[in-house]
């Protein structure tokens, strides 16, 4: 496993895992474990690193600087991310660093979003139970990428998690590892 304290040893891809209870998670725990098992990306578990929710901003910025591709992985909560990831973006993507005058430190990096959702894919469309598509609901991330000069990629989505069998989850985990490496995955990339 890559260690976030050892930046010189870091891979090109940084995966920020933001789950408030990863130990009791089924989907995100399995996805993160697959990346850690393969060991070629840096996996950064946000809630475990910052239990008191006070960030080391310089360290987070150094981590971002050291990678070319950033993956934000989280369970979909109220059509968005868990609160700590929002807070992380609020304080780490600073004016003058990520945007604004001389704020070009994220420019050219890729931004990938990986989410798990209780609702099924078919619910996420006009007229469906959740009315809007994942692409529409993820717009704040897309526009944050635009503002910071990052390259936004199609998301990886594990939807309808209650219907995902253990066998399907294994397939998702393998596809996720491919997706994180920047190659198109077979499943999970319907936005």
Which residue from 72, 65, 48, 20 is spatially nearest to 179, judged by alpha carbons?
72
CB of 112 to ligand FMN, least distance (A): 17
Number of residues that bind ligand FMN (CB under 6 A): 15
Provide the minimum distance between the beta carbon of 57 and ligand FMN in the complex, in angstroms, as a whole number.
Answer: 26
Closest CA to 33 of 189, 188, 183, 180: 180
State which of residues 161, 173, 180, 185 lies at the interface with ligand FMN (CB under 6 A).
161
| 110-116/13-17 β-pairing | unpaired
Considering only 47, 50, 77, 152, the residue that binds ligand FMN (CB under 6 A) is: 77
| Residue 50 interacting with ligand FMN (CB under 6 A) | no
In angstroms, the CA 84 to CA 55 distance is 10
Q: Give the per-residue contact string, 84-103, with ligand FMN (x = CB under 6 A; - = no).
A: --------------------
Joined tokens for residue 167: 């066998």
Query: What is the spatial distance between Cα 104 and Cα 55, in angstroms, rounded to a whole number?
Result: 21
156 binds ligand FMN (CB under 6 A): no
What does the binding site for ligand FMN look like in residue numbers (CB under 6 A)? 19, 25-28, 75-79, 116-119, 161
């Amino acid at each position: 496993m890559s260690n976030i304290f050892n930046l010189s040893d870091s891979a090109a891809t940084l995966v920020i895992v933001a789950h408030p209870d990863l130990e009791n998670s089924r989907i995100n725990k399995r996805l993160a474990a697959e990346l850690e098992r393969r060991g070629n990306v840096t996996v950064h578990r946000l809630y475990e690193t910052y239990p008191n929710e006070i960030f080391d901003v310089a360290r987070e910025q150094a981590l971002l600087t050291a990678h070319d591709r950033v993956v934000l992985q989280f369970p979909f909560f109220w059509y968005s991310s868990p609160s700590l990831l929002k807070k992380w973006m609020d304080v780490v993507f600073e004016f003058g660093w990520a945007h604004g005058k001389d704020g070009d430190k994220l420019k050219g990096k890729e931004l990938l979003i990986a989410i798990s959702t209780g609702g099924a894919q078919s619910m996420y469309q006009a007229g469906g139970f959740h009315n809007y598509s994942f692409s529409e609901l993820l717009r704040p991330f897309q526009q944050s990428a635009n503002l910071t000069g990052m390259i936004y990629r199609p998301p990886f989505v594990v939807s309808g998690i209650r219907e995902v069998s253990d066998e399907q989850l294994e397939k998702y985990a393998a596809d996720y590892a491919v997706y994180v490496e920047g190659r198109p995955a077979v499943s999970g990339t319907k936005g």
